[in-house]
Structure 1
């Protein structure tokens, strides 16, 4: 123990985690010798466990600011913009002045509750999803404070308490008849093919807006989804897909016909625009050829639904037989419709996951658990029917374990 002025200091030796070389670490600022000894003993135990962290006076604001700057190189611009918004809007104003190493689970639990109850504009409650996103940023930053920067022995987010999540009813989506009615109405719009392709591939809007004509092989009936489009600081930005990898999605003959008609229509627009046409090979673009922003197609969909419903009401007054009225639906719901219909038709989860671009089929299982549960209720009847019709031999052959004879066989039925 060493007394320097009015405070006490201690020194211990700590092994560098990368080199293994032991180096002295001085820690000062203790009011009494006893306090310095107690802190030294705790530090020695932590050092032996490989959990020693340097004493830091950095605040949460200082750490988050530095972390966001360093993290900018590792994520997409749109993702970084989301992290920054959450940190600057919800986290720093409330816990920014707290010392990072003094951050406790109880503090984070209180913050979580405050955001839920009145963290929005003018003191309005925030949605559970928004608060969870904000805390996902906190968790990721503090994980780096533990693993990378070695400023925390553990992540307090992992030990905080959260309100019990209320079970939400699955969001309802259009049925097949409603989807057909919408696509038929949207076909007259110059971007009708966009909504058709969204429904028939399950692709995200950013992936479709990134498509080039060279990404479509209409003879082989495939679409190569190799990138995505987002918005960062008001600018249209191109990047990788959400999962970070390209995928090829098959399309049917009807979709091929729709895309050929769309290409012909686009060629006519180009002739009309003449010298005003913007260059490029984008499949979906503005009337004069310029690239589309993601919000354009999202905001257009409610208008198309409204126009369809107005036309249905006029047809009802004329005593004709109109198509069904459409309840409100988001653009992203076309992706859910695609997945739901495939799963209810018995398409394997792994195939649906690949079409949607999910990195792991477990994501698909989690999101569409309600659909799979509905499908499973019919399993008993399917089995009974197979037995009654005498088609059990083929069924038993199909489910016979392929790994029994060939450990390297592909096509097992495990999920």
Structure 2
């Protein structure tokens, strides 16, 4: 320097950014050459600091997304939306080494108080998902040797509650008609489901609506069902794949979980419907001629092309609105299928297998709304149990005997039955009584 105290010193060095990769790092603002050298040596001496210095949160999150190659396209799409819309705008300028739990807590608080595009604040499930994505990204940084600890693991987020499906009773329908408000998850009654299925009987996809409503198929499973997966003679259908929508792009992949790969039993009425559906599809094939796309799917468009899962959602919403039934989502038909099966007397383990759940707890907590018919049956059965016990012991009915206090219960004498003595050849009979003999109770 020509003049003492004029300017500042900087250093430029190569640092490792990931295993096998290095990049140039430039730092400045040091008043003396000695301080610049000391800062450079300190940086290179701490391997983690040298590695993480070149990474901002924005850069790391985008790099982390490129490494997520073994997840479903829809899951990756969800990750990218939360990274671009929530994480990068609020944490992107921080260096990876500067991130603390306080930054993350402030971010969660801000997001939780901000309305989304629907004019509502995010649910606890959304906040939990955002933290889970950030935590996974920071865990990857730890595995790469760029961080020693994960600050996201200590951040508290409101625990998400799985919404419980509510039945569209008469009272709820009237309230919905007056206020326009509906439950987050709702299912139809047996009569409402029958009304819908009767209304769509002439629809091209009538058999698909039937399968979803009674057998609980997901929309992607219904759209991905092939004729090679259906054995009408044996009365079964195998769920081997699903069509997954990611915007306009549709991919074919395995079912959602390992338990979702399952065997669906078909009743005789469903078999008749599927046979009729196959005859209609062959007639459409002959009418379309060369335009027909022989995709091999059970449910196709008018030219034989596979169905987009989003089309099924839109078509179902249109049919429900046209019929005037209380609104439910297409996925809510799956909730209703579990409730209908349980109401028909099917045990929860069988319902779990039918829906393809990995745990019966999920089936019991989420998918079995108690229908009114089942509640009435349970109440009637409980009352009949008590009334039958009272009928067997008429001498102990209320009002005929003095009730014993707590101190007298242990001292109540057991009723004694006297038998008439009979001589040989005697035809004496026991005296008739106006009621049955008290039941003898043996001590255990």
User: Structure 1-normalised TM-score?
Assistant: 0.70
Q: In structure 2, how many angstroms separate the alpha carbons of the residues matched to 1:351 and 1:154?
A: 44
Deviates more, 1:81-90 or 1:97-106: 97-106
User: In the alignment, is the contact (CA less than 8 A) between 2:242 and 2:254 conserved in 1?
Assistant: yes
1:118 counterpart SS class: coil
Q: Does 1:335 align with 2:334?
A: yes
Equivalent residue in structure 1 for 2:139, among 125, 138, 143: 143
Determine if the alignment matches structure 1 residue 212 to structure 2 residue 226. Answer: yes
In structure 2, relative to structure 1, the CA distance for the partners of 1:344 and 1:150 (3 Å cut) is: farther
Match of 1:87 in 2: 83
Q: C-alpha separation between the residues in 2 aligned to 1:342 and 1:53?
A: 59
Comparing 329-338 with 88-97, which one deviates more in the overlay?
Answer: 88-97
Residues 376 and 77 of structure 1: CA distance in aligned 2, closer, same or farther (over 3 Å):
farther
TM-score using structure 2 length: 0.66
Cα offset, 1:271, TM superposition: 1.5
Question: Is it true that 1:285 corresponds to 2:300 in the alignment?
Answer: yes
Conserved? CA contact 2:214–2:340, under 8 Å: no
Instruction: Identify if the C-alpha distance between structure 1 residues 122 and 262 changes in structure 2 by more than 3 Å, giving closer, same or farther.
Output: closer
Q: Would the alpha carbon gap of residues 358 and 166 (structure 1) be closer, same or farther in structure 2, given more than 3 Å must change?
A: closer
Structure 1 segment 8-19 matched on structure 2, within 5 A:
none
> 2:335, 2:369 within 8 Å by CA — same for their partners in 1?
no
Distance 1:301 1:123 in 2: 25
Q: Does 1:64 align with 2:79?
A: no
1:60 deviates by 1.7
Out of 313, 317, 321, the position equivalent to 1:298 is: 313
Q: Does 1:225 align with 2:220?
A: no
- Alpha-carbon shift at residue 268 of structure 1 (Å): 1.5
- For residues 369 and 201 of structure 1, the distance between their equivalents in structure 2, rounded to whole angstroms, comes to 14
Structure-2 residue corresponding to 1:315 = none
Contact 2:128 2:160 (C-alpha < 8 Å) held by counterparts: no
Q: CA RMSD in A?
A: 4.0
Q: Report 1:201-280 matches (<5 A).
A: 201-232=215-246, 234-244=248-258, 246-280=261-295
Q: Is the 8 A contact 1:90 1:119 kept in 2?
A: no
Distance 1:249 1:104 in 2: 50
| SS in structure 2 at match of 1:358 | coil
Q: Count matched residues.
A: 337
Go from structure 1 to structure 2 and tell me whether the alpha carbon gap of 1:341 and 1:93 turns closer, same or farther (over 3 Å shift). Answer: same
Q: For residues 54 and 339 of structure 1, do their structure 2 counterparts lie closer, same or farther at Cα, with a shift above 3 Å needed? A: farther
Q: Cα gap change, 1:304/1:346 in structure 2, threshold over 3 Å: closer, same or farther?
A: same
1:164 deviation in Å? 6.2
Partner of 1:399: none
> Residues 142 and 155 of structure 1 are in contact (CA less than 8 Å); yes or no, is this contact kept in structure 2?
yes
Tell me the equivalent position of 1:361: 360
Cα offsets for 1:68-98 (capped at 9, x unmatched): 1111x21122221221122112211211122
Superposed CA offset, 1:160-215 (max 9, x none): 12246689664331011110110111111111111111112111100111111111
Change in CA separation of 1:384 and 1:233 when aligned onto 2, cut-off 3 Å: closer
